[in-house]
Amino acid sequence: THLEAMPGINCTQATEFSLAGFTEDPATQVTLFLLFLLTYLVTILGNLGMITLIRASALLHSPMYYFLGNLAFVNLCTSTTITPRMLAGVLLGKKGITYAGCMAQIFTFGLFVVTECFLLAAMAYDRYVAICHPLLYLLVMSPERCSWLVTSSYLLGLTNGVGQAIGMSSLFFCSSSAIDLFFCDISMLISLSSSDTTLSLIILRTSSSLLGVPSLLVVLVSYVAIISTILSISSAEGKRKALSTCASHLAALSTFYGPLIFMYLIPRSDTSRGGDKWAAVLYSVVTPMLNPWIYSLRNREVKEAWRRLRKIK
């Protein structure tokens, strides 16, 4: 498709973008490379370990762990979409990324970030049914419904990925375009474009409204009901048990939604976006690493499943 720049702007279409690094200091670059490499290796180990444990242990064949296994897979994909390319940039100083590579990043990241939003919403709904309607839990969270919730999450993520890629493909960029981030982010690309960005902005805002907001609302409504139910429990031990089942999920929610809200929903000028880079590191690099450990370190069932698996071996 031939794309044209806005009238009055004379430049050639970019075939490559320049991604900003974190620093130009060689010593700091080595430190960051080692830190991000360790983070990525822990991410792979933790998420693959969680997927393997859930599949191998009959103790973890329940709706909550079915969702958690899919969350681990999505975290693995999200991190792999971003981190290897970032590591190459930090170590080799390769700041350039091709137009096709940028499109691929936008599609895959758009797919997995929205899939994670809906998986977290499904997990919040699962905790709501378990705590607020325990007698109906097995009926409501049937294997068919769980499968439908997970499949819907991936389909909605795919819809977002395709939509963002279409929005990106309609933009024109001058060959000197530089992205002040370590991966291709659609909102930053829109601000860099020298063509009409109306379609891209409509797609971005529509996807945020129709996909991001409802998933967050499900989480908020579920936890309002959960907290209300927990407060009505008379025994301290009952309250402690109910809270412990939600603590890991709440920790995962805060590390994922916090940086996303900071980066995409808080309005601010281009001059005050200094924290975007580190907010992006949190939700694209750190959160995928933390999630399996958050769920395993605080969870008795995961620890017990791990102990049983070790005894068998």
Average pLDDT, the chain: 82
Domain with 174, as residue range(s), is: 17-303
CATH number of the domain within which 99 lies: 1.20.1070.10
What does the alpha-carbon distance between residue 255 and residue 130 come to, in Å, rounded to a whole number? 23
- Whether residue 182 lies inside any domain: the answer is yes
Question: In total, how many domains does the chain have?
Answer: 1
Residues 113-161 pLDDT 10s: 999 999 999 999 999 999 899 999 999 999 999 999 999 999 999 999 9
- Whether residue 1 lies inside any domain: the answer is no
- Long-range contact pairs involving 239-243 (C-beta distance under 8 Å, separation at least 24): 242/131
Asked whether the predicted pLDDT for residue 234 surpasses 90, the reply is no
Least confident of 71-85, 138-152, 254-268: 254-268
Asked whether the predicted pLDDT for residue 313 surpasses 60, the reply is no
What does the alpha-carbon distance between residue 263 and residue 254 come to, in Å, rounded to a whole number? 14
Q: Which two tokens stand for residue 153?
A: 């999450």
User: 9 phi and psi, to 5 degrees?
Assistant: -105, 120
Q: Quote the pLDDT of residue 271.
A: 47
Q: Quote the pLDDT of residue 48.
A: 94
One-letter amino acid of 161: G
Spatial neighbors of 128 by CB under 8 A, at least 6 apart, are: 222, 223, 225, 226
Residue labelled with tokens 């025994």: 235
pLDDT band at 209, cuts 50/70/90? Answer: confident
User: In which element (H, E) is residue 98 found?
Assistant: strand 96-98
pLDDT band at 267, cuts 50/70/90? Answer: low
Q: What is the DSSP letter of 93?
A: -
Closest residue by Cα to residue 105 from 12, 179, 209: 179
What does the alpha-carbon distance between residue 11 and residue 172 come to, in Å, rounded to a whole number? 10
Q: How many CA atoms lie less than 13 Å away from 68 in the CB half-sphere?
A: 30
- Whether residue 6 lies inside any domain: the answer is no
- Whether residue 311 lies inside any domain: the answer is no
Q: Quote the pLDDT of residue 312.
A: 65
Q: Quote the pLDDT of residue 1.
A: 40
Closest residue by Cα to residue 204 from 219, 194, 191, 195: 191
- Whether residue 5 lies inside any domain: the answer is no
- Whether residue 9 lies inside any domain: the answer is no
What does the alpha-carbon distance between residue 158 and residue 233 come to, in Å, rounded to a whole number? 41
Q: Quote the pLDDT of residue 150.
A: 97
Q: Quote the pLDDT of residue 10.
A: 62
pTM for the full model? 0.86
Q: What number is the average pLDDT over the span 229-235?
A: 84
- Whether residue 115 lies inside any domain: the answer is yes
E strand residue ranges, 20-85: none
- Whether residue 268 lies inside any domain: the answer is yes
What does the alpha-carbon distance between residue 13 and residue 299 come to, in Å, rounded to a whole number? 52
Q: Quote the pLDDT of residue 254.
A: 81
